[in-house]
């Protein structure tokens, strides 16, 4: 088991909290400082986004952070150089999240090997087709001990969800809606029916809800139906403020307490 599996195996009744932020934002060299601060504040696992020039699934806050990170010069090569010190400073699970184009340019096998070399536990690439992963890349991920995380939306069929569950080795990322990131979670009858439907399927993998989780209320609402929840845009917005490092412990505490 890698760190992701160990986390969920030991979670008990705990509501798992994950935070997403963009590598290279707000400064090129801030990535590890933020990661370390989040672990110290009590976050259970991290998602570090690698920026891309056309982030179609992201709302304006994360789009802005990606644009800024690219202006600062962030690339996958630079990120992996920075992450060489990751496991000297961070012990919780870490995933990289981004789009498939930079991964293909870097080389899928090289990317996976680089992830393993620096201690990354899993990858979320929303636009990597499931068929391509299964037919071409699954052995590479498995050889490097990497979990590939698939996304499920309200429109995903039961057959596809079952297939995702079979292919998954970490958790399943359940999108609260089909909107872009940064929209507030609206817990309607349709949403709760959707969450309940997934919970009732008896999936073998843990489920983590993302998109729209921004405060304690939405974190609790999401984790009433799932093993954990991911906060992204709300935290990235904080990173645009003055003295953001000093504000991280309070931000996490307000989600938890």
What are the start-end ranges of the E strands in the chain?
16-22, 45-49, 94-97, 122-124, 147-149, 151-152, 172-175, 207-210, 228-231
Contact 221, 188 (CB under 8 A): no
- Going by C-alpha positions, the residue among 244, 254, 247 that lies closest to residue 25 is 244
- Going by C-alpha positions, the residue among 193, 227, 194 that lies closest to residue 209 is 227
Catalytic residue among 36, 39, 44, 58: 58
Catalytic residue among 44, 47, 121, 227: 47
Catalytic (active site) residue 47:
yes
Catalytic (active site) residue 36:
no
Rounding to the nearest 10 degrees, give the CA dihedral for residues 78, 83, 85, 90: 150
Angle at CA of residue 89, ends 85 and 93, nearest 5°: 95
Q: Which residues are catalytic?
A: 47, 58
């Amino acid at each position: 088991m890698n760190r992701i599996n160990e986390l969920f195996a030991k979670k008990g009744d705990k509501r798992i909290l994950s935070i997403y932020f963009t590598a290279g934002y707000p400064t090129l060299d801030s990535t590890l400082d933020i990661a370390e601060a989040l672990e110290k504040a009590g976050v259970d696992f991290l998602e570090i986004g690698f920026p891309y020039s056309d982030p179609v699934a992201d709302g304006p806050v994360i789009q802005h952070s990606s644009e800024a990170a690219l202006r600062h010069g962030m690339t996958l090569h630079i990120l992996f150089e920075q992450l060489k010190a990751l496991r000297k400073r961070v012990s919780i699970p870490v995933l990289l999240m981004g789009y498939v184009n930079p991964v293909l340019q870097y080389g899928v096998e090289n990317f996976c090997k680089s992830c393993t070399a620096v201690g990354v536990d899993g990858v979320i690439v929303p636009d990597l087709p499931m068929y391509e992963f299964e037919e071409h890349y699954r052995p590479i991920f498995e050889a490097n001990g990497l979990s590939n995380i698939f996304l499920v939306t309200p429109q995903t069929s039961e057959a596809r969800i079952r297939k995702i569950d079979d292919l998954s080795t970490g958790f399943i990322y359940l999108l609260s809606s089909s909107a872009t990131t940064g929209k507030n979670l609206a817990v309607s009858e349709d949403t709760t029916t959707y969450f309940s439907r997934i919970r009732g399927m008896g999936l073998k993998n843990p489920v983590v809800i993302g998109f729209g989780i921004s405060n304690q209320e939405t974190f609790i609402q999401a984790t009433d139906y799932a093993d954990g929840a991911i906060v992204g845009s709300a935290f990235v917005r904080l990173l645009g403020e003055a003295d953001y490092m000093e504000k991280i412990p309070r931000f996490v505490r307000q989600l938890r307490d």
